[in-house]
Amino acid sequence: MRVRENALAVLALVAALGGTSYAAVALPNGSVGTPQLRNAAVTGAKLAPSAATAAKVKNGSLTLDAVSPDALVPGPPGAPGHDGSPGVVGPAGQAGSSGTNGPTGAPGPAGFQHIFKVSTPFTVGPHNEQTISAVCPDGTRVLSGGVKRRIRDIAIIGSFPINGGIEWSVDAFNPTDFNETVTITASCAVVQF
């Protein structure tokens, strides 16, 4: 009786262990996949920390709607890009239309008319200074003037227009012991203002 009880106990133990072992080894690899799992059967709590890593995720298997927005962390901004090369020069534009002519300017002053010379000779005594002028005719103005001397010893102290521009004056000094002749020449002209 005791032997029979022991045999039944061993048999029950073998059956229990054998059934569990059979269930573990009876499922071939890859026999349990997505079709065999119920929805929400695999939760995050049932996964080991290293069960789903980046290396184990197949490229292209995750879509944007499958990723939690909280898991998307923006990266740092990239460095600025290089300046682009200048573009090609555009074609030249069409020439603009000619502008209108401006108004006619006022007439300018008339030029000199009837230019002629007036010469006046005079005598300067020995060791003497004398001032003489050549006078332009009425209605004319002196443009320039000068003096002609026979010898270089006669010193011309001044030569300039006077009396509102109608005379040319010369101031001469004779350092010699003789009378000397000096001739004043004035260039005169009709001037319209």
DSSP 79-100: PPPPPPPPPPPPPPPPPPPPPP
Question: Residue 83 falls within a domain, yes or no?
Answer: no
* pLDDT attached to residue 22: 45
Question: Residue 21 falls within a domain, yes or no?
Answer: no
Q: Which two tokens mark 80? A: 């600025």
Compute the radius of gyration of the chain from its Cα atoms.
65
Whether the CB-CB separation of 181 and 146 falls below 8 Å is answered with no
Q: Give phi and psi for 63, each to the nearest 5.
A: -105, 165
Whether the CB-CB separation of 180 and 128 falls below 8 Å is answered with no
Least confident segment among 8-12, 27-31, 97-101, 118-122: 8-12
Question: Residue 19 falls within a domain, yes or no?
Answer: no
Question: Residue 74 falls within a domain, yes or no?
Answer: no
Helix (H) or strand (E) holding 14: helix 2-26
Question: Residue 25 falls within a domain, yes or no?
Answer: no
**When comparing pLDDT for 37 and 102, which is higher?**
102
Indicate if the pLDDT at residue 59 is higher than 80. no
Q: pTM higher than 0.85 for the full model?
A: no
Q: What is the CATH number of the domain that holds 145?
A: 2.60.120.1330
